[in-house]
Chain A
Amino acid sequence: MEVPLSYKWNVYKIFKNGKRAKIIFHKFGYNEPKTVEEYFESKVKVTFSKKMQRSKYIIIRDDLPQDCEDPIEKQKKIFEEKKKRVLRKHLKSTEIINSNRIVGGLIFCRANNWKWQWAALEVSTSRYLLGISPAFSSHEEASEWMQNEVNQL
């Protein structure tokens, strides 16, 4: 005899800004994936308080990935992390004596003759201290340099 598959479903609240909550709001069991939305609206949602019934929800099957992050955003985050690592690596190799904290970043200022350059900057004032990359005439070239450095990690 065939045993019907039993699925568990996680209900997440969707905020007014369109983002999804990370914490599961409600869990329920239902066997038919095709009609789960209808089941949720007619049987599950009615058990919520009146205030919560007005909210929007998304249902995700429990055995599927629950990531709410956009893959493009995730890639961007990873790139930003790697970029920080590259900057830290270059800052360590330079010998700058400054009483304030130092941070790495891209700058376009008079001190580097109005060129785009990844440089060591003073925290809070963003004052240019020392270039850690060649100076570039355009933002694209500077981004390309950083992309190459990230690829070499």
Chain B
Amino acid sequence: MNIGPLNWKIKKGDLVKARLAALYHEHLLGDNFSYKYGLVISDKIDNENDQLDIFPCVQVFIFSSGSTLYMREPELEIISNA
């Protein structure tokens, strides 16, 4: 089955809102997800030959924690374009 090209809009330098799994104390408050702001610091990582990277993703720097995460498009919302 041939899946059509993904409409990928996220670019390096975009300010994004990232959806992350909620931490334990956030789960207790009834939230399944926590939302953090971040910055896209890589181009789309897409390697069709490597099944580990089958889903294209980008690296996102999270401001609040100072960590860098690999994230897919459905987990990101663009706040400001680069």
Contact = CB atoms under 8 A, between A and B. Distances in A.
A143 B39 CA distance: 16
Interface string B15-48: 0000000000000000000000001010000000
A139 B61 contact: yes
Interface in A105-153: 108-110, 114, 139-140, 143
Contact of B39 (A108, A110, A140): A108
A116 B76 CA distance: 22
Interface in A2-60: none
Nearest to B13: A109
Interface residues of A, number: 7
The SS class assigned to the A binding surface is: helix
Interface residues of B, number: 8
B79 interface: no
B13 A110 contact: yes
A114 B61 CA distance: 13
A32 B74 CA distance: 60
B54 interface: no
Nearest to B68: A139
Given A109-B13, A139-B61, 15 more contacts: A108-B13, A108-B39, A108-B41, A108-B61, A109-B82, A110-B12, A110-B13, A110-B82, A114-B12, A114-B13, A114-B41, A139-B66, A139-B68, A140-B66, A143-B66
17 contacts: A108-B13, A108-B39, A108-B41, A108-B61, A109-B13, A109-B82, A110-B12, A110-B13, A110-B82, A114-B12, A114-B13, A114-B41, A139-B61, A139-B66, A139-B68, A140-B66, A143-B66
